[in-house]
Structure 1
Amino acid sequence: MSETFKISHYLAISGIILIAGFAAGFVLSYFDPAFGESLVNLFQEMVAGQIMGDDPPVLALQLFLNNLEACVVIFIGGAFFGFISVAILMLNGVIIGAVLEVVRKEAGYIALFAAIVPHGIFELPAVIASGALGLMMGRAVKNELSGISDASFEAWRLGGYFVKYIIPFVAIAAVIEAFITPAVLQLVT
């Protein structure tokens, strides 16, 4: 089995986990609007309220650091046999899905897409790839316990992928979210 197939396999699994979380959060918020509103309030208190009032350059840096931290935790969570990576992917999916349903209900589909698509085309792949790397890390830990491979060597190799692909995608997404997404939202709202 080639390395490309392995990575694509884990990317697919990670994407499915995140999408399942989106779907769960969206459906829960749809049928229980209070659930969605509580997650929106939590999101505003913990993330948006701390960073959204800043100038675009500062906002871009804060978004970059916040999203990079999430991706690092998803990746490193793989050291616990991938369970933490899966849990954080699913939890992030639920929160985002619930928030998206609230936005859709209040502002409509066009505003929803305008709020997500510009930076989401970079941020979501970074999150999914972080999950894939975390799942691969979990496999490496399992293989080391079975005497098949060296998990520390694999962690360094996967860390190289993280630095090469995840960090740039998170940086691009943060710049777009701080500078371009607000302009796109103003055009459609």
Structure 2
Amino acid sequence: MHRQLFSVFKKMKLEISLAFIVFVIGAFLGALMGMGQDEVTFVDNTASATAILQNNLKACVIIFSGFVLLGIPTFISLLFNGLILGSTLKASSFYLSGAELLQRGAPHAILEIPGIVLAGAVGFQTVRILINIIRNKKVSLKEELMTASVAIIAAVICISLAALVEGFITVKFI
């Protein structure tokens, strides 16, 4: 199974890179938003692992939908999720030290962000397939669907584990 997963990563490196770049651009834009400390209200909000998982899976469904909608909702959702991350980090930096931000965010972000990026790669996959068809390159629909299926499973596992970590471990640092 791990060989198949690495094969998927290799095959989808362009889509993974694009998804990561769009997400990071959103995060940078979010961090650059013109918020001052007087405009930020810090809310101590802890949600259950189930609520976090439901929210994250809804976001993944929107990101995945780009597979059938030419990547458009994928692009918008990745950019938006990056904006939220960037603006949240900036707003939190008014109240928390860098070490506290890292302590609260890293345990689940190391799983959640790769899950979001993998979901984005699936959402952008159709664009690559169409480009290959236009270039008269051979495309195996069966192989492409298998690649998408493996990536979707990996993304859902990452997102699910991240929700468990956020709901049960990260909450202890708050």
- Shorter chain as denominator, the TM-score bin is 0.7 to 0.9
8 Å Cα contact 1:71-1:127 kept in structure 2: yes
Residue-by-residue CA offset, 1:132-169 (whole Å, 9 max, x unaligned): 11111333355568886476873464134212x11111
TM-score (norm 1): 0.74
8 Å Cα contact 2:26-2:86 kept in structure 1: yes
Matching residue's letter, 1:22 = A
Deviates more, 1:151-160 or 1:112-121: 151-160
8 Å Cα contact 1:144-1:151 kept in structure 2: no
d(CA) in 2 for partners of 1:158 and 1:130?
A: 9
Asked if 1:63 corresponds to 2:63, the answer is: no
d(CA) in 2 for partners of 1:62 and 1:23?
A: 27
Asked if 1:77 corresponds to 2:80, the answer is: no
d(CA) in 1 for partners of 2:8 and 2:104?
A: 35
d(CA) in 2 for partners of 1:4 and 1:142?
A: 19
Partner of 1:32: 35
Asked if 1:8 corresponds to 2:13, the answer is: yes
Aligned with 2:68: secondary structure? helix
Unpaired runs of 5+ residues, structure 2, are 1-6
d(CA) in 2 for partners of 1:146 and 1:89?
A: 27
Unpaired runs of 5+ residues, structure 1, are 54-58
Counting aligned pairs with the same residue, the percent is 24
Partner of 2:100: 111
Report the structure, 1 or 2, having the larger helix content. Answer: 1
Aligned counterpart for 1:129 among listed residues 118, 131, 155: 118
Using the TM superposition, give the Cα deviation of residue 116 of structure 1 relative to its aligned residue in structure 2, in angstroms: 0.9
d(CA) in 1 for partners of 2:97 and 2:91?
A: 9
